[in-house]
Amino acid sequence: MARKGRLFVISAPSGAGKTTLIKQLLPQFSEVSYSVSHTTRPPRPGEVHGRDYFFIDEAGFEAMIETAHWLEWARVHGHYYGTSRTFVANQLEKGNTLLLDIDVQGAAQIMASGLDPVSVFIMPPSFEELRRRLENRGTDAAQTIARRLKNAEQEISQKHMFQYVLVNDDLETASAQLCRIFKKEMGRN
């Protein structure tokens, strides 16, 4: 029987630097595939359908909730996000290693699914720095930033659910820490 793949779940409040860290990690681990989630939010500048997210409408997403299509799903910042159950199961059965970049609600669903993921939570160095990063990103209105900051408080309160918690204070240091976690969990000491 073929070896089942590993599943990594990475979560963080919006603006903590999760996407940047993942982009630095993936080229160092060619055996790790990035699982592309579905969302109902509009694409940000530079995002590509099928690479960054599968962008779908709310009616389509809700129909997939009714048919139990999602391994995990959540409504975050006013939009749906979800991961395909079939896609993840097929990848793991083939022995592939998958990385899921998901919110805390989705991470909790994955951890309760019996798939035994390696879970990592990325913290901002401070709440003030998180606010600065969100404002400097220049992609969200002030109301959206306020909602993201409010959600960040709740997300950070859930960090104890994760196996690993790392603070993204310095990008190079945080990137090295994340790589060490992957090497350890994949047996690549």
Residue-wise DSSP of 122-136: EE-S-HHHHHHHHHH
Could you tell me the pTM of the whole model? Answer: 0.85
What are phi and psi for residue 81, nearest 5 degrees? -135, 140
| The pLDDT value given to residue 156 | 95
Res 1: pLDDT:
44
Which structural domains are found in the chain, ordered by start? 7-185 (3.40.50.300)
State residue 112 phi and psi, 5-degree precision. Answer: -85, -5
- DSSP, collapsed to helix, strand or coil, labels residue 74 as strand
Give the Cα separation of 81 and 187 in Å (integer).
Answer: 31
The number of beta carbons lying within 10 Å of the beta carbon of residue 32 is 20
pLDDT one digit per residue (tens) for the chain, 189 residues: 455 789 999 999 988 989 899 999 999 999 999 898 899 999 988 999 988 899 999 999 999 999 999 999 988 878 999 999 988 988 899 889 999 998 898 899 999 988 999 999 999 999 888 888 888 887 778 888 888 889 999 999 999 999 999 999 999 999 999 999 999 999 876
Residue 66: what pLDDT? 95
